[in-house]
Amino acid sequence: MEANQSVLVIGGGIAGMQASLDLASRGMKVYLVEKTPSIGGRMSQLDKTFPTMDCSMCILAPKMIECFRHPNITLLTYSEVQEVKGSAGNFRVKILKKPRFVDLEKCTGCGECAQHCPVEVPNEFDMGLGVRKAIYVPFPQAVPLKYTIDDENCIKCMLCQKMCKAGAIDYDQQPETIDLNVGAIVVATGFELFDARKRTEYGYGKYPNVLTSMEFERLLSASGPTGGHLLRLSDGKIPRRIAFIQCVGSRSLKGGVSYCSSACCVYATKEGILIREHNPECEVYIFYNDLKVFGKGFQEFVNRAKDEWGVKYVRALPGEVMEDPKTGELTIWYEDTTENVTKNMKADIVILCPALVPRTTDKELAGILGLELDEFGFMKSKDPLFAPVDTNLPGVYICGYCQGPKDIPESVAQASGAAARAAEIIVAAGKEAH
Amino acid sequence: MAYEPRIVAFLCNWCSYMGADLAGTSRIQYPTNVRIIRVMCSGRVDPVFVIEAFENGADGVLVCGCHPGDCHYISGNLKAEKRIETTRKLVKLLGLGPERLRLEWVSTSEGGKFAEVVTDFTEQLRKMGQSPLKSENNPKVPKAPLNVQEVIKKAIAETNVRYCLECGKCSSSCPISRLNEAYSPRRTVEKFLIGLENKVLPTADLWTCLTCFTCTERCPSDVKFPYFVRACRRVASVDVKEELCAHRGIPMALARMMTNPKIKQDRMDWLPEGAEISEKGDLLYFVGCAPYLDVVFEDYNLGLIKTPQSVVKILNKVGIKPVILRNEKCCGHDLLWTGDLENFEKLAKINMADFKETGAKKIVAACPEGYRTFKEDYPKFLENFDFEVLHISELLSQLIDKGELKFDTKIARKVVYHDSCRLGRHMGVYEPPRKILASLPGTELVEMERNRQNALCCGVSSWLSCNKYSKGVQIDRLREAKATGADLLVTACNKCRIHWKCVTSEKLPVDPSEVTMEMRDLSVLVAEALKLM
């Protein structure tokens, strides 16, 4: 049997990209499958990263380009895994390449089409805060920088076809199935947000000035809907006080998930500092239950937020947020557990830090692969201590948030681990064949 | 052995007691069956004195005061007259015979009259026979001593209290904590967990909880605080400075009396003319305390009795002849939530036996408390409580779905619906009442800022801790309802309406126009839309 020297990586976020680059640099062929039109994942949506306060896109974009340029990596964006057969050393995989209705070879990414497209829909990349056209790139640094027609919202007016000088628009594109033969598989599907609407007491979805942290991340970002200006989208008001509420759905034995999402305390601190940076007159309060900041340099980061930036921490999980319908001002009810008094506080914006949960589509993918999931829907490790990136299936490895709660550095480290484990299979299979 | 009636007599200090004294000093003979209690004025005789006298086995209660116009406090005796009239209705409902409660005017000079009254009353009671409530086992007699530590240990284990994260979400959700700084569910739980229960048990804290389930709804650790409170109330002190139980505990006394198997209530006067009910059948309608509440709160003119009347008429209209128990007992809700488990269990057993005898399979309640108690609590306390329990709103919304209930009268009103705690957060019945209201022709349904899971409590539960804080909650809720611009406040819970009517009948700290609005029971509104009421 001929040994297969290639690896399939599912998910084009930071973990999937890192695993792909590690494998590719060892001389292995990598197929990187990404469901959306561009690789980049969650990290591409972030404004800054903790605790170094790097511009997220600035450190991510080079990695994205590296994936794109690497001779050993084949990017399969806007594609999904449809079928997996075989076993370690020899998996036969069917990939569904969804039609973009744009010829990737011809599209130059000039954007003429989107300029003329008459359809505006909420922009997923901006968490629905901004708009995009029916023909779009998710964000300016997208890789590949090629346009995609969103079939669901396209009204087939053919304007883009008329405008495209490269003649890249192809309405007749059909879904395509690609057959691959790979020796190992790395799964890195990432996370989604717990639906904050379920905690009705905080009024998310009802009050326009109650946002999720991911929405707020876009609001702060220079590439976001306000161009990085910190203001309330509901009325354009410059906020004077912003409050964060932690553990919305996390650490909940009821009405959420019981685990700690692990990143929220630190990213709220980061966003708090960013607010103070944007506008020193805007007060920041972070309502927390326990500050779980256990990573390298994280406690120092929180200390800096308190001492240098004046971010205020209140040990309490608020019971309710209510809105004054006239002013849009929000009232937060909480019991200050250090003073033992039930109080309320007014704020212009309330930011909820929802639990980070495994993607709902992981269930389907696990079914296709034959992977086991744990009680929360995370991909199950073969052994939580000694084989965290291994699964119940030899030759299939997991990394990033789909394996369990973690932050960026941990995801990257784990991705390298998963890549190394995948490489072992390929090397072993190669030796056997000789 | 011959039966000798026992009469408890409350005599006013100024006229009647002197009159009795005169009978004595004048050597006028009268039966020794009377036990005299001197009160400063007949107006001092609270209905609970009468009710408790009967509960303790009195065969008759006599109240004597100054003649009208002679009251030393100007109008105390006239107040007594009104009060006794109302109390007599309760005595009638209990099936004791209204004649067992007597009010007489006896002046200082009427020693002879006093003797005549006592003689006559004694003879009358002899003829009537012993009070059915005369029993060796008074239900109010101190309960068997409980092991406080055991009760607390069990409560902690069963209500997830150990999972408390100390986050304060409960306290900041609690309607009372927001007004009363001294009260906090979190700190209450904390004290129990670190063994400082003696700092809580003798205080009003355990009696302050509205058991509205707002904290439970939001608690990330699923701590069931109201159940914890309920379990601990069994061993909490009732001897605290504040008045814990509103209406001096009459509702609890009435409920306790119903545990007596000999009681035969006379409670069916409300049944509308032409209404059809059955002795046996598939569906039993549990009327609940409406007949009693209608008497106790008759001054409020809330038409509380219209609820069961409406329900029966609606059921008849769709061809259902509900089973109604003529001697229906209390469901025990208030006893359970005030920690009187012994009497609650007695009532539960009696009710289950009564229900089974009718052959009913379904139990329908219009009262959220009864509904909760049958659906949630009875199955936990009783084996074989295998009835399907429905709230009237669930039944009606099923009938609307099937097309069996159609409305032809236009109710052109802007209606706001209040989720009572029991129906809403306790049982999760949020949509059926809204569906009914939305299907009434011409009705516009609006929502309060806090609705469904987040609805604010009406301010009092189980007749406990009616104080300035509960009044504050009531006013807050009414303002919220009024702010919607609705002209009719609808709820399925008569107790909510009683509490709001109570607060708006008093001197208000806000402009009355901000809080007063027309209120209606859900079933009554449906009956009106069907032109049945």
Pairing of strands B34-39, B7-12: parallel
Q: Determine the pLDDT at residue B143.
A: 63
The answer to whether the Cβ–Cβ distance between A316 and B221 falls below 8 Å is no
Distance between CA A21 and CA B4 in Å, rounded? 102
Tokens of A356: 């980070």
How many Å lie between the alpha carbon of A250 and the closest alpha carbon of chain B? 8
B3: helix, coil or strand? Answer: coil
Total residue count of chain A as it appears in this document: 434
The answer to whether the Cβ–Cβ distance between B184 and A342 falls below 8 Å is yes
Distance between CA A359 and CA A345 in Å, rounded? 35
Name every chain B residue with its beta carbon within 8 A of the beta carbon of A290.
165
Distance between CA B380 and CA B370 in Å, rounded? 15
Q: Searching chain A, which residue's CA lies closest to the CA of residue B455?
A: A201
One digit per residue, pLDDT tens: chain A, 434 residues?
455 889 999 999 999 999 999 999 999 999 999 999 999 999 999 999 999 999 999 999 999 999 999 999 999 999 999 999 999 999 999 999 999 999 999 999 999 999 999 999 999 999 999 999 999 999 999 999 999 999 999 999 999 999 999 999 999 999 999 999 999 999 999 999 999 999 999 999 999 999 999 999 999 999 999 999 999 999 999 999 999 999 999 999 999 999 999 999 999 999 999 999 999 999 999 999 999 999 999 999 999 999 999 999 999 999 999 999 999 999 999 999 999 999 999 999 999 999 999 999 999 999 999 999 999 999 999 999 999 999 999 999 999 999 999 999 999 999 999 999 999 999 987 777 66
Contact between residue A129 and residue A213 where contact means Cβ atoms under 8 Å apart: no
Between B177, B187, B218, which is nearest A201 by CB? Answer: B218
Contact between residue B90 and residue B47 where contact means Cβ atoms under 8 Å apart: yes
Tokens of A410: 């941990």
Between B174, B181, B220, which is nearest A253 by CB? Answer: B220
Distance between CA B240 and CA A187 in Å, rounded? 63
Q: Determine the pLDDT at residue B105.
A: 97
For B32-126, where are the E strands, in sequence order? 34-39, 60-65, 101-105
- Omega of the bond leading into A51 within 30 degrees of 0 (cis): yes
- A266-A269-A274 Cα angle (round to 5): 130
What mean pLDDT is predicted for residues B22-34?
Answer: 96
The answer to whether the Cβ–Cβ distance between A319 and B170 falls below 8 Å is yes
3-state secondary structure B260-273: CCCCCCCCCCCCCC
The answer to whether the Cβ–Cβ distance between A342 and B219 falls below 8 Å is no
Name every chain B residue with its beta carbon within 8 A of the beta carbon of A320.
172-173, 218, 454
Which of residues 151 through 210 in chain B touch A, CB cutoff 8 A?
A: 160, 163, 165-174, 177-178, 181, 184, 186-187
Reported as a pLDDT band with limits 50, 70 and 90, residue B146 is confident
Cβ count near B434 (within 10 Å): 19
Name every chain A residue with its beta carbon within 8 A of the beta carbon of B172.
316, 318-320, 333-335, 342
Q: Report whether pLDDT(B285) > 60.
A: yes
Tokens of A67: 């994936």
The answer to whether the Cβ–Cβ distance between B178 and A251 falls below 8 Å is no
Between B184, B217, B220, which is nearest A335 by CB? Answer: B184
Q: Searching chain A, which residue's CA lies closest to the CA of residue B177?
A: A342
Reported as a pLDDT band with limits 50, 70 and 90, residue B138 is low
Between B166, B172, B219, which is nearest A320 by CB? Answer: B172
Residue with tokens 């509308």: B272
Distance between CA B439 and CA A310 in Å, rounded? 54
Distance between CA B187 and CA B191 in Å, rounded? 6
Distance between CA B361 and CA B300 in Å, rounded? 36
Q: Searching chain B, which residue's CA lies closest to the CA of residue A320?
A: B173
Distance between CA A218 and CA A208 in Å, rounded? 15
Q: Searching chain A, which residue's CA lies closest to the CA of residue B216?
A: A254
**In terms of Cα–Cα distance, which of B365, B372, B370, B367 is closest to B390?**
B365
The answer to whether the Cβ–Cβ distance between B168 and A334 falls below 8 Å is yes
How many Å lie between the alpha carbon of A118 and the closest alpha carbon of chain B? 37
Question: Any CB–CB contact under 8 A between B219 and chain A?
Answer: yes
Name every chain B residue with its beta carbon within 8 A of the beta carbon of A252.
220-221
Count contacts between A and B (CB, < 8 Å): 87
- Omega of the bond leading into B441 within 30 degrees of 0 (cis): no
DSSP letter at A257? -
Between B168, B214, B222, which is nearest A317 by CB? Answer: B168
The answer to whether the Cβ–Cβ distance between B163 and A322 falls below 8 Å is no
Q: What DSSP assignment string belongs to A322-378?
A: EE-TTT--EEEEEEETTTTEEEEEEESEEEEEEPEEE-TTHHHHHHHHT--B-TTSP
Between B181, B219, B452, which is nearest A342 by CB? Answer: B181
Q: Helices B494-505 and B468-483, interaxial angle, to 10°?
A: 100
Question: Any CB–CB contact under 8 A between A254 and chain B?
Answer: yes
Question: Any CB–CB contact under 8 A between A329 and chain B?
Answer: no
Q: Determine the pLDDT at residue B246.
A: 82
Question: Any CB–CB contact under 8 A between A342 and chain B?
Answer: yes
Which of residues 415 through 454 in chain B touch A, CB cutoff 8 A?
A: 449-450, 452-454
Distance between CA A136 and CA B14 in Å, rounded? 95
**In terms of Cα–Cα distance, which of A51, A40, A38, A37 is closest to A17?**
A40
The answer to whether the Cβ–Cβ distance between B173 and A333 falls below 8 Å is yes
- Phi, psi at B261, each rounded to 5°: -65, -20
Amino acid at A344: N
What mean pLDDT is predicted for residues B135-146?
Answer: 67
Distance between CA A393 and CA A184 in Å, rounded? 10
B16: which residues sit within 8 A by CB, 6+ positions away?
B42, B64, B65, B66, B104, B105, B106, B107, B114
Q: Determine the pLDDT at residue B242.
A: 66
Render pLDDT for B185-203 as a digit per residue (tens, 0 to 9): 999 999 999 999 999 998 8
The answer to whether the Cβ–Cβ distance between B166 and A342 falls below 8 Å is no
Q: Report whether pLDDT(B139) > 80.
A: no
Name every chain B residue with its beta carbon within 8 A of the beta carbon of A319.
168-174, 214-215, 218
B196: which residues sit within 8 A by CB, 6+ positions away?
none
Distance between CA B370 and CA B530 in Å, rounded? 25
Q: Report whether pLDDT(B429) > 60.
A: yes
A296: helix, coil or strand? Answer: coil
The answer to whether the Cβ–Cβ distance between A289 and B165 falls below 8 Å is yes
Tokens of A382: 């073969």
Q: Which residue has the higher pLDDT, A4 or B62?
A: B62
B487: which residues sit within 8 A by CB, 6+ positions away?
B413, B414, B415, B517, B518
Q: Determine the pLDDT at residue B180.
A: 94
How many Å lie between the alpha carbon of A260 and the closest alpha carbon of chain B? 12
- Phi, psi at A357, each rounded to 5°: -125, 155
Distance between CA A194 and CA A256 in Å, rounded? 8
Q: Hey, which residues does A210 pair with through a beta bridge?
A: A350
Question: Any CB–CB contact under 8 A between A289 and chain B?
Answer: yes
**In terms of Cα–Cα distance, which of A8, A1, A117 is closest to A368?**
A8
Between B167, B222, B452, which is nearest A254 by CB? Answer: B222
Render pLDDT for B344-360 as a digit per residue (tens, 0 to 9): 999 999 999 999 999 99
Amino acid at A218: R
**In terms of Cα–Cα distance, which of A220, A295, A205 is closest to A45?**
A220
B463: helix, coil or strand? Answer: coil
Name every chain A residue with its beta carbon within 8 A of the beta carbon of B213.
none
The answer to whether the Cβ–Cβ distance between B170 and A252 falls below 8 Å is no
Distance between CA A88 and CA A382 in Å, rounded? 15
DSSP letter at A238? P
Sheet holding B34-39, edge to edge: B34-39, B7-12, B60-65, B101-105
Q: Determine the pLDDT at residue A174.
A: 96
Total residue count of chain B as it appears in this document: 533
Distance between CA A3 and CA A429 in Å, rounded? 6
Residue with tokens 């409980």: B146
Q: Determine the pLDDT at residue A1.
A: 41
Between B163, B173, B181, which is nearest A319 by CB? Answer: B173
- A153-A159-A165 Cα angle (round to 5): 120
Distance between CA B377 and CA B373 in Å, rounded? 5
How many Å lie between the alpha carbon of A271 and the closest alpha carbon of chain B? 22
Q: Positive or negative, the Cα torsion across B63, B64, B67, B70? A: negative
Distance between CA A289 and CA A313 in Å, rounded? 10
Residue with tokens 């026979």: B129
**In terms of Cα–Cα distance, which of A62, A23, A55, A22 is closest to A39?**
A62
- Phi, psi at A406, each rounded to 5°: -170, 170
**In terms of Cα–Cα distance, which of A312, A378, A372, A375 is closest to A345?**
A312
The answer to whether the Cβ–Cβ distance between B220 and A333 falls below 8 Å is no
Between A200, A290, A316, which is nearest B454 by CB? Answer: A200
Reported as a pLDDT band with limits 50, 70 and 90, residue B140 is low
DSSP letter at A381? P
